[in-house]
Amino acid sequence: MKTRLLVLTMLWCSSFLLAQDYFPKNDGVKSKNNNYTAFTNAKIYVTPNQVIENGTLLIQNGKVVQAGKSVTIPKNTVTIDVSGKSIYPSFIDIYSDFGIKKPERAPGRGRTAEYEPTREGFYWNDHIMPETNAIATYKFDAKKAKELREAGFGIVNTHLQDGIARGTGILIALNSEGTDANRVLDDKSAQYFSFNRSITKKQAYPTSLMGTTALLRQMYNDMDWYAKGNIDTKDRSLEALIANKNLPQIIEAKDKFKDLLADKIGDANGIQYTILAGGDEYESITEIKATNAKYILPLNFPVAFDVSNPYQAGYVSLDNMRHWNLAPSNPKVLSENGVQYAITLYDSKSTKTFKENLLKAITYGLSKTKALEALTTIPAQILGKSSQIGSLKSGSYANFLIASGDIFDKNTTLYENWVQGQKSVVNDINLKDIRGDYDLIVANKTFKLNIAGQTSKPKATIKEDTIKLDSKIKYVNNWLDLSFSTKNDELYRMTSLASNSSDELSGRLILPTGEETSFKAIKTKSFSEKEKKEKEKEALTLMPIHYPNIGYGSATKPKQETILFKNATVWTSEDDGILKNTDLLIKNGKISKIGKDLSAGGAKVIDATGKHVTAGVIDEHSHIGLYSVNEAGQNSSAEVTMEDAVNSEDMNIYRNLGGGVTTSQLLHGSANPIGGRSAIIKLKWGETADKMIYSNSPKFIKFALGENVKQSNWGSFSRFPQTRMGVEQVYMNYFQRGKEYDELKKSGKPYRYDEEMEVIAQILNGEVFISCHSYVQSEINMLMKVAEKFNFKINTFTHILEGYKVADKMAEHGVGGSTFSDWWAYKYEVNDAIPYNAAIMHSQGVTVAINSDDREMSRRLNQEAGKIVKYGDVSEEEAWKMVTINPAKLLHLDDRTGSLKVGKDADVVLWTDHPLSVYAKAEKTIIDGTIYFDIEKDKQQRKLIQEERNILINMMLKEKESGKPTQKPRKKLNKEFHCDSL
Amino acid sequence: MKKILYTLLIFSCISVGFAQQTPAKKQTEAITIEGATAHLGNGKIIENSLVIFEGGKITYVGSANMKIARKGTVINANDKHIYPGFIAPAKSLGLVEVNAVRASDDQDEIGDMIPHIRSIIAYNAESKVVESMRPNGVLLAQVTPKGGRISGTSSIVQFDAWNWEDAIVKEDDGIHMHWPNYFKQDRRSFGVDSGFKPNDKYVEELDKIKSFIKNSFAYGKSTPKEMNLAFKAMQGLFDGSKKLYIYANGEKEIIDAITLAKENNIKEVVLVGGYEAHKITDFLKKNDIAILVNFTHTLPEFEDDDYDLPYKNPKLLVDAGLLVGLQNASASNFQTRNLPFYAGQIVGQGLDKEIALQLITSNNAKILGIDADYGTLEVGKSATLFISEGDALDMRTNILSKAYIDGRDISLETHQTELWKRYMNKYEETK
């Protein structure tokens, strides 16, 4: 019977909606329903800020006619009285994959990578697929639609979530009664991008974050070039990109760093992306706000770690604990800072956890108005569809929710979700609320009955005197089935239809004997939620943000100071040499005075008697503070820059400060003969990446020679070059092309802007300097000869393990050497690496630096310089220069840092002992006059970290006790980057 | 002046050629070293010392003020320092020459429980890497197989020998077992942020170890008809003739490992690693466990750890009264020449210099069971020692002028010093 009814209803409905005028009809007569429906006496949220009490909502043909206090109701209107109920616009999820088949991972990626694209007539890179139209593969998913409607959603904007350029999305009404003719509101609603490679494609490039960034930049350049008609072949990807450039542009970033990176890419190309956020934006709110972008916010708050096992608890880092604590406040922080965002179901485990997290965000201070905006008006605005969706203004689609009250209250019941004027029932609106306390009279005995829980899913407790009895309850369509067993195991069963006119429950009772009689339950107390609410109001404990927001971050950013070191041994790294019993004054971020008996003025005075003051250590070759190291997808990646991948929150930055390091060149790895450009940073712990990178930074690019670029040590045989002979030809080819590119550019004729060639040309023009990873003498010699052919000089050979064999040639060419102190024997090409290398090169007049290429060694570069005294008898003063002024020279920073000279940047270290000694510890590390590492402050921070961990662990234990979900403890992967790392 | 010396030095050595240094001849004449600061390796120090050795053994250690007869060649070592040869435990020195060249790698046999694998027969006495240890004072090592759960059996060698038999100081001294990790890297989430999660198979892996040890023990109680090489190799652990070296770092792993070993009749257990051992020093003392602690030039294991925890970890254990030696098992072999500096690093953390020295001399000798002959400058012990221009624990002053193994005057030249001189000479000549 029920099935038949359903089928009938469906037919009726479909005939209502499918009635497209020009379609022939053969299963009946054409008929049209132009009646109105009016919902009266409701609290109506026309928009989050326009609320009508006791209003009427009038709809017709799937659209809102009017919402207001006094609405004229036409005669052909079906009126539904919803007094006491609230009506909201249905929610919109603009970051959905609804109805789109999940992309499948391409099978097996071997070690031998694929370098060529698989497509023809499209962009050269397989991960750029702007020609994808979600509509081509979209299929309405009725089951998912129902689930979404039950969560309050009426509209989704869906797309294929795969690749870097992902093509266009479609806007769908979740109307299961209609057809795609009704539901598809826009088949090209927005254009989507991300930083993730396509999982369905195997083309190697890009392998890294900076490669992806460079690819996006190049894609836009090529788009312009194509648009101007400069490419005579067909490129359907670029054509799609051009066609869709005026759509809303949405990019998946998913963390605060990539949020900012995405915005930067957009700015460079005149695009304001809407950015899919990650949930950690609260940590960099100032920068996030400054993007002026709109965001899409997933509500994927982490659940507590299960820290009940103390051995396991130790694995969870403070910053992960803190993020658990603070993530729910992210929406509030964004709102308070005026950042506009839509909320998405994306990354939520289920609609249930989505709702829980939404309510949680409100508990953490998100205003309900903002929450509603994020679910209705803002997503509509982002898509440019405000007149159609997201509100109940006249002419909008009749997409709305009927709820028992405040939609953001845990106890509110959502009754109905109407989409395009089609009703779908979530909970029976006519269901009587029978919750409360009753005197249950059964067979002349009185039991205590309590009905609680949700109206539609009540829970019963029945007590005989004070003893709780086993009972069962079921409540559907106002019919109550209740049963219980007494102490003597006698089963009583009752059935009753709840009456709308009385609170008394009465009806059929079946006695244990099977005899039928009747029962009565008299309400003694109405249900109330109050007790629970008070419990929930427990004050939230929120940890303060730190800079950076991990262990050893500071509660306030460190500030510049005026500092006077008294009576120190001062290692100037200048001609002045080592000055005993000398004072050094730091003021306004610069070295202000060096001399005897300097007066303090208002300076902070530090007694350095018996201690040593030096310039900060400079590491010419480092890979700390990076999200990614190698763009290995091509044999040249000059277009990438490490500045796109600086991770200012790498603990190794702090640990390096603890070893007296103040400047590091973050180099690209050695996966290819032409690597990427460097990021040269000051280790300003607590600042963002942009502020760490040197202002007006000299430009460097990493080159590499030898086994790594030949891919000798793993089974990869397909990429050119496989020999040192081939390496030379890569360079010859690139420099020649770079030269021709530059000539064309300078000729004033039109040219295709190619970021890679731009950099090669800059090398030829002496604007970008090469630091080349190098091992054996043949290749070192080769590169110098190649450079000479193109009339420029190699700036630095880094590693340069056989530099000692060609030190005279290096001196003649004018190239510097930045080497390891004593590494060797780890691969074939370092067989002849010797620890005397630095000393020999130095003896022949080469500017020599000692570098690390290792995040552990980098914090002991002072000791590595000490080894140069041992190996080859270099003087202490000269050895010390190898980690200060010499690397500064190699980096073209010697006018700013690297020595103690009046007027230079105050990058200064206070050591407990002779700085080349294994016994020396850095006590204070100062950059631009600001103390970024202080051994005493470090001690205090250790305590604070323990205290805060303890508080958070206790909070998480409570969370577990209260039965909330937890996750297994997890230790962050501390990526160790060397030259060879991907 | 210095330059001339340089040139002289260069000419005197250039003829040596490119092969491994020829092992030194047996000591035939007594040698007396006078005037140096002697660091005995047992915590004591003698300023202006007198050290005499004959026939490979130390016959006198005392003050140069003593009016006793100087014997044989007398070396004046005023302002210099004399140390017992440093001992490197748990290294695959001589088993692998160039890490990336598979053909030169003999350190890791396949199989999980292979105690019968013996390192000594693969030890390359002519390794250039081994040779490069000597100019820094590292003169002995425990040559150890790597990988698997039970990697095999180590032997202890000295670094100046014609072949592996000559190199042996103690053959088949111990079995090396790598304890399973309680946390494991989660590799399932390809491309997504992966991290470490509790190892679901930890208990299972423990059980395998337990079963293997119990079976080995049972095997030894019988007279089996069919020989089981692996079980047979384990027998030394039950009679105390071999030590079990267990590599473990986490608090829980250490407790599990030692408890299991003790409950299963293993007489001598040495903990290798011990990153979190400082948290359970009472437990370790109660069980009388010696530790070969991780070298200091490493990074903290956890983000919130003290930045200098690896630097001071050995000190924390020494302060707790444990027997502590120092190893760099997880580092590349070539790094082992930095052993003295790993010890020096602890001095920067407040440990007494002579105690720090013990960690790579007498303590390592005791833990490896070669302290009857090596590890200190004491009468009756092997004359395995060296003279350094300055403090040998500090890189700037660790400059050796003489080194002796069993009284033999060994070469301090290496493939590396030869290249140095060869090219310095080239540049001098072309000036």
Q: From A597, A574, A602, select the one nearest A587 (Cα to Cα).
A: A602
Q: Which residue ranges make up each domain of chain B?
A: 22-84+376-412, 86-374
Q: Which residues contact B160 (CB under 8 A, 6 or more apart)?
A: B21, B23, B24, B134, B139, B405, B408, B410
Which of A551, A552, A918 has the CB atom closest to B344's CB atom? Answer: A918
Cβ-based contacts of B129 with chain A (< 8 Å): 825
Q: State the best of A258, A857, A870, A925 to mutate against chain B, taking most chain B CBs within 10 Å.
A: A870
Q: What is the mean pLDDT of residues B197-214?
A: 95
Give residue A974's pLDDT.
56
Q: DSSP class of residue A560?
A: B
Beta-strand pair A445-453/A458-464:
antiparallel
CA distances from B273 to B151, B180, B279 (A): 16, 13, 13
The label of the residue with tokens 């030169």 reads B104
Per-residue pLDDT tens digits for B346-362: 999 999 999 999 999 99
CB contact under 8 A, B341 and A869: no
Give residue A460's pLDDT.
92
Whole-angstrom distance, CA of residue B233 vs CA of residue B220: 10
CA distances from A878 to A849, A865, B40 (A): 10, 9, 34
A322 three-state secondary structure: helix
Per-residue pLDDT tens digits for B257-268: 999 999 999 999
CB contact under 8 A, B98 and A828: yes
CA distances from A122 to A165, A216, B300 (A): 12, 15, 48
Contacts from B252-257 at CB under 8 Å and sequence distance 24+? B252/A311, B252/B182, B253/B179, B253/B180, B253/B181, B253/B182, B254/B179, B254/B280, B254/B283, B254/B284, B255/B280, B255/B283, B256/B179, B256/B206, B257/B179
Q: From A497, A452, A488, select the one nearest A470 (Cα to Cα).
A: A488
What sign for the dihedral angle of Cα A161, A162, A164, A167?
A: negative
CA distances from B18 to A725, A839, B167 (A): 28, 21, 21
Cα B175 → chain centroid: 15
CB contact under 8 A, B344 and A971: no
Measured at the CA of A743, the angle between CA A740 and CA A748, to 5 degrees, comes to 135
Q: Which residues contact A674 (CB under 8 A, 6 or more apart)?
A: A635, A636, A637, A638, A701, A703, A730, A731, A734, A760
Cβ-based contacts of B302 with chain A (< 8 Å): 314-315, 317, 971
Whole-angstrom distance, CA of residue B82 vs CA of residue B67: 20
User: Which helix (DSSP H) or strand (DSSP E) does residue A102 occupy?
Assistant: none
Nearest CA of chain B to the CA of A311: how many Å? 7
CB contact under 8 A, A836 and B198: no
Whole-angstrom distance, CA of residue A181 vs CA of residue A172: 10
Count of CB atoms situated within 10 Å of the CB of B29: 11
Angle between helices A755-764 and A209-227 (to 10 degrees): 100
For the record, the structure tokens of B385 come out as: 């020692």
Whole-angstrom distance, CA of residue A8 vs CA of residue A14: 10
Q: What's the whole-number average pLDDT of chain B?
A: 93
Per-residue pLDDT tens digits for B367-422: 999 999 999 999 999 999 999 999 999 999 999 999 999 999 999 999 999 999 99
Q: From A779, A282, A724, select the one nearest A544 (Cα to Cα).
A: A282
CB contact under 8 A, B306 and A942: yes
Give residue A14's pLDDT.
43
Whole-angstrom distance, CA of residue A648 vs CA of residue A320: 16
Q: In which residue ranges of chain A is pLDDT below 70?
A: 1-20, 109-112, 529-538, 973-982
**Which residues of chain B from 225 to 284 reach within 8 Å of chain A, CB to CB?**
250-252
User: Which helix (DSSP H) or strand (DSSP E) does residue A563 occupy?
Assistant: strand A563-571
Give CATH for domain B86-374.
3.20.20.140
Whole-angstrom distance, CA of residue A32 vs CA of residue B370: 101
CB contact under 8 A, B396 and A804: no
Per-residue pLDDT tens digits for A57-98: 999 999 999 999 999 999 999 999 999 999 999 999 999 999
DSSP secondary structure string for all residues of A246-260 = TS-EEEE--SHHHHH
Let me know: does A869 contact A635? Beta carbons within 8 Å.
no
- Give this prediction's pTM: 0.93
CB contact under 8 A, B195 and A856: no
Let me know: does B80 contact B193? Beta carbons within 8 Å.
no
Give residue A981's pLDDT.
54
Nearest CA of chain A to the CA of B119: how many Å? 20
Cβ-based contacts of B427 with chain A (< 8 Å): 807-808, 840, 843-844
CB contact under 8 A, A822 and B194: no
Nearest CA of chain A to the CA of B314: how many Å? 15
Q: Which residues contact B225 (CB under 8 A, 6 or more apart)?
A: none
Amino acid at B304: D
Give residue A489's pLDDT.
86
What per-residue string of b and e applies to A532-566 under the rule 16 or more CB within 10 Å gives b? Answer: eeeeeeeeeeebebbbbbbbbbeeeebebbbbbbb
Nearest CA of chain B to the CA of A859: how many Å? 10
Which of B129, B344, B348 has the CB atom closest to A921's CB atom? Answer: B348
- Read off φ and ψ for residue B313, nearest 5 degrees: -50, -45
Let me know: does B314 contact B351? Beta carbons within 8 Å.
yes
Q: DSSP class of residue A769?
A: E
CATH topology of domain B22-84+376-412: Urease, subunit C; domain 1 (2.30.40)
Please name every residue paired with A451 in a beta bridge, in sequence order, or none if there are none: A436, A460
Cβ-based contacts of A916 with chain B (< 8 Å): 395-396
Question: ipTM strictly over 0.90?
Answer: yes
DSSP secondary structure string for all residues of B99-153 = TT-GGGB-S--S-SB-TT-BSGGG--TT-HHHHTTGGGTEEEEEE---SSSEEEE
**Which residues of chain B from 96 to 155 reach within 8 Å of chain A, CB to CB?**
97-101, 128-129
Give residue A498's pLDDT.
87
Domains identified in chain A and CATH numbers: 91-107+123-388 (3.20.20.140), 436-525 (2.40.128), 546-616+898-928 (2.30.40.10), 617-897 (3.20.20.140)
